[in-house]
Structure 1
Amino acid sequence: MEGDRRVGVAVDFSPCSKKALTWAVDNVVRDGDHLILVTVQPEVDYEQGEMQLWEATGSPLIPLVELSDPVVMKKYGLKPDPETLDILNTLAREKEVVVLLKIYWGDAREKICEAIDKIPLSCLIIGNRGLGKIKRAIMGSVSNYVVNNGSCPVTVVKLGHEI
């Protein structure tokens, strides 16, 4: 992947991450880019298996063909929605973009910043749920943390009312 742009999109398969993905596809991703979806799962105490090996470093980069396979995704504990898979498959076909997924386990704020450095990403697009001031103060804003601590350009796409 040397020399190619690696555009990251933080996804959790929610409406706000789907909006961020759509925005990235329409405004940032170009022919020949690598689109790397970064998702963070809550920390789980795995007794055995591959996930225990990947807990510290995240999963290997998972190609789109495996991301589209429900059996493979079940192994990772993910269930991508059909609309997101359609967006990704269309993008890969029309713009000749390599689509990959990287899964981390733990705190989303820290792991997304880690992904920026470890992959490394040229830029990151992240959705914003638009929490109110009180909820944001209690829960913390992942997008705000990544904007302030990420080491690459970060674009926050707000979830509007048009979805």
Structure 2
Amino acid sequence: MSANASSASLNVPGLAQPDPPKTVMMALDESSHSTAALQWVFDYLLRDGDKLLVVSVVDKEAEKDSAISRIKTLLRAIWESENVQVNMAARVVVGKASEQIVAQCEEVKPAFLVLSSAGKSHVEGLIVGSVSNYAISHVRCCPVIVARMTVALESQRGRLSKGSKAQRQRSKSPLWF
């Protein structure tokens, strides 16, 4: 290192460098499938320093306040049970779920969009219409992950432990709106 240099970095081939923080967007409809997918996001996608944006779509403006309250409660409960330090935000928007989720995703441009599977068969999804299918077809800014929770995944997730509450060191509040 020269006398004028203040610092140096050494890149060792084969030694992984830490990933920069990423933003993960989760479309949440408050169903049990969606809540399980949110838990999956914490278990498998989020790392310390990442940002989670939860987007929920309601039919009427009058439903927004109660939806945001329920989402904040859910996020806080999951955050308290996990051993990962992330920043979280929630947006509740009014409109058609499929269109609003795509619009929010294109605005935010997250690293990933995660949706849950409602447990419908492929045929049911095609006949009734599927938010997941719409997102897969229309989101252009990032990969779309459809987290379909199966009995095997639920069982495996139950066996995984992120550490005790005493091991966690967190900021005062993970939530920002």
For 1:77, give the aligned amino acid: S
Is the counterpart of residue 10 in structure 1 residue 23 in structure 2? no
TM-score by length of 2: 0.64
Determine helix, strand or coil for the equivalent of 1:95: coil
Structure 2 residue aligned with 1:154: 144
Is the counterpart of residue 131 in structure 1 residue 120 in structure 2? yes
CA–CA distance in 2 between the matches of 1:11 and 1:110?
14
CA–CA distance in 1 between the matches of 2:89 and 2:138?
23
Deviation at residue 90 of structure 1 after TM alignment: 3.7
The one of 121, 144, 155 aligned to 2:133 = 144
CA–CA distance in 2 between the matches of 1:35 and 1:81?
12
Task: Check the 8 A contact 2:50/2:86 in 1, yes or no.
Answer: yes
Residue by residue over 1:41-98, the C-alpha shift from the partner in whole angstroms, topping out at 9 and shown as x without a partner, is 11x2x5xxxx7xxxxxxxxxxxxxxxxxxxxxx861313496653113444xx32210
Larger relative contact order, structure 1 or 2 (CA cutoff 8 Å, min sep 6): 1
Label 1:80 to 1:116 Cα distance change in 2 as closer, same or farther (>3 A): closer
Structure 1: segments with no counterpart, 5+ residues: 52-73
For 2:118, give the aligned amino acid: R
Task: Check the 8 A contact 1:32/1:96 in 2, yes or no.
Answer: yes
Structure 2 residue aligned with 1:102: 91
Is the counterpart of residue 122 in structure 1 residue 139 in structure 2? no
Structure 2: segments with no counterpart, 5+ residues: 1-19, 155-177
Determine helix, strand or coil for the equivalent of 1:76: helix
Determine helix, strand or coil for the equivalent of 1:96: coil
CA–CA distance in 2 between the matches of 1:85 and 1:108?
24
Label 1:140 to 1:75 Cα distance change in 2 as closer, same or farther (>3 A): closer
Label 1:28 to 1:139 Cα distance change in 2 as closer, same or farther (>3 A): same
TM-score by length of 1: 0.69
Deviation at residue 148 of structure 1 after TM alignment: 1.5
Deviation at residue 144 of structure 1 after TM alignment: 1.2
CA–CA distance in 1 between the matches of 2:85 and 2:72?
22
For 1:154, give the aligned amino acid: V
Answer with 1 or 2: which has the greater Rg: 2
Q: How many residues align?
A: 131
Structure 1 residue aligned with 2:42: 25
Deviation at residue 138 of structure 1 after TM alignment: 3.2
Structure 2 residue aligned with 1:87: 78
Label 1:96 to 1:145 Cα distance change in 2 as closer, same or farther (>3 A): same
CA–CA distance in 2 between the matches of 1:80 and 1:6?
18
Percentage of identical aligned residues: 27
Structure 2 residue aligned with 1:65: none
